[in-house]
Amino acid sequence: MTAIVNVFLKEGVLDPQGKAIHHALDAMNFEGVEDVRMGKQIVLKLSSTNKEDAQKEVEQMAEEILANTVIEDYTIELV
Amino acid sequence: MKNIAVLQFPGTNCDLDTQYAFEKLGCKTTIVWHKASKLPDNTDLVVVPGGFSYGDYLRSGAIAKFSPIMKEVIEYANQGGKVLGICNGFQILTEVGLLPGALKRNIGLHFISRFQTLKVVNNNNVFLQKYNKDEVINIPIAHADGNYYIDEKGYQELEANDQILVRYSDEKGDPVVVNGSVTSIAGICNQSKNVFGLMPHPERALERILGSDDGIKMLEGLIA
């Protein structure tokens, strides 16, 4: 099973990298971009075949190291 | 003679500068590799120095958090031991939860390396006891992730308990935006005032001929 963990700065926490990308897109005349948020994606290959166990384990990983929950939120997708 | 333990992670690069600084002030220093599980006996101060532990992979300080020595440092701090985190050391201390808040990418995205004036916000702590309140000092900064963030509730606690140590300022002491930090915060301490973290590098401000010796009093405060 593969776990895809997306980590983003929390809503309301200013994202300097997203802002810089937004500026660049404006400069390139891409119109209609209202907001840009930049995050990272961590892909984990798991030996587990039990979705429930995997979800629990990856949640623990996200809480303890993959995200800094003071400033970041995360989502987990299992495929 | 005071005994200083200076931690070293893969990617730390201010360990020898920090050792030089404390030895110049008459201390005995020991460099402690991150895989050690014990601090030297009779350690009077632990310094988590600057650099790029684990190449800043994942987030600055995120991986160093799980090095064996950090468990010992947390216990040492919880028993009242003095801990100082400089730059990457500050980032590591927030990651392990010894200090509140977090450090994000600088608002302008640049790595900023230069002398910077700072205002001493509170001096009722051992670290800044040798300065006057509101004194403006000149200490180098060198970082890409120094944009200090804390939520409103956390900020109110810092204010109420005099935990804000220094702010980036102009020469008159008025706050300036350097990296986007909440209210220009450059350094804080914990509630019991035995754990200190700051982005500027006091160990690089020891000799006037090299630009400033304003850092001496910070380090002296910790070993007084």
Asked if the Cβ–Cβ distance from A9 to B104 is below 8 Å, we say: yes
Residues of B with catalytic annotation? Answer: 87, 201, 203
Q: How many residues would you count in chain B?
A: 224
> What's the rounded mean pLDDT across residues A4-8?
97
pLDDT score at B50: 97
Hey, are the CB atoms on B105 and A65 less than 8 Å from each other? no
Host domain of residue A28: 2-78
The two three-digit tokens of residue B40, written as one number: 């030297």
CA B98 – CA B191 distance, rounded (Å): 10
Segment A6-32 shows an average pLDDT of: 92
pLDDT in tens, B185-194: 999 999 999 9
Instruction: Look at residue B80 in the predicted model and tell me its pLDDT.
Output: 97
Report the number of distinct structural domains present in chain A: 1
A9 interaction partners in chain B (CB closer than 8 Å): 104
pLDDT confidence of residue B199: 98
DSSP 3-state assignment of A70? coil
Q: How far apart are CA B102 and CA B94, in angstroms?
A: 6
The residues of A whose Cβ lies within 8 A of any Cβ of B are 9, 13-14, 16-17, 20, 65-66, 68, 70-71
The verdict on a CB contact (< 8 Å) between B107 and A13 is no
* Residue A46 burial class via C-beta count within 10 angstroms: exposed 0-12, middle 13-18, buried 19 and up: middle
In whole angstroms, how far apart are CA A64 and each of A43, A57, B62, B99, B165?
16, 11, 10, 16, 28
Give the whole-angstrom CA distance, residue B216 versus residue B207.
9
Mutation target to probe the A interface, by most A beta carbons within 10 A, among B56, B57, B58, B107 is B58
Q: How far apart are CA B60 and CA B145, in angstroms?
A: 7
What are the residue boundaries of the structural domains of chain B, listed by start?
3-223
Question: Rounded CA gap, A79 and B106, in Å?
Answer: 35
Regions of chain B where pLDDT drops below 50: none
The CATH code of the domain that includes A9 is 3.30.1280.10
The conformation of residue B193, written as its DSSP 8-state character, comes to: S
Backbone dihedral region of B35: left (phi > 0), alpha (psi from -120 to 50 degrees) or beta? Answer: alpha
CB B186 within 8 A of CB B166: yes
Compute the average pLDDT of residues A47-57. Answer: 95
Please tell me the pTM assigned to this model. Answer: 0.93
Q: Which residues of A touch B59 (CB under 8 A)?
A: 68
Q: Domain B3-223 is classified in which CATH homologous superfamily?
A: Class I glutamine amidotransferase (GATase) domain (3.40.50.880)
pLDDT tens-digit map of A21-31:
999 999 999 98
Structure tokens at B195: 């754990």
Helix extents (H) in chain B: 15-24, 68-78, 88-95, 152-160, 216-223
Q: What is the pLDDT, as a whole number, of residue B217?
A: 96
Among B198, B222, B190, CA closest to B77: B190
Instruction: Using an 8 Å CB-CB cutoff, list chain B residues near A70.
Output: 94, 101-102, 149-150
At B137 the pLDDT is 98
∠ CA(B64), CA(B34), CA(A46), 5° rounding? 50
In this prediction the ipTM stands at 0.82
d(C-alpha B161, C-alpha B170), whole Å = 25
B183, B174 in Cβ contact below 8 A? no
Q: Report the residue of chain A nearest B148, measured CA to CA.
A: A71
Question: What pLDDT sits at residue B177?
Answer: 97
* Chain A residues whose beta carbon lies within 8 Å of the beta carbon of residue B147: 16
Indicate if the pLDDT at residue A12 is higher than 90.
no
Structure tokens at B132: 């006057």
Residues 6+ apart with CB under 8 A from B200: B86, B87, B116, B118, B139, B140, B141, B166, B186, B187
CA-nearest of B5, B58, B66 to B30 is B5
Least CB–CB distance from A70: residue in B65, B66, B101: B101
Q: What is the pLDDT of residue B13?
A: 96
Q: What is the mean pLDDT of chain A?
A: 94
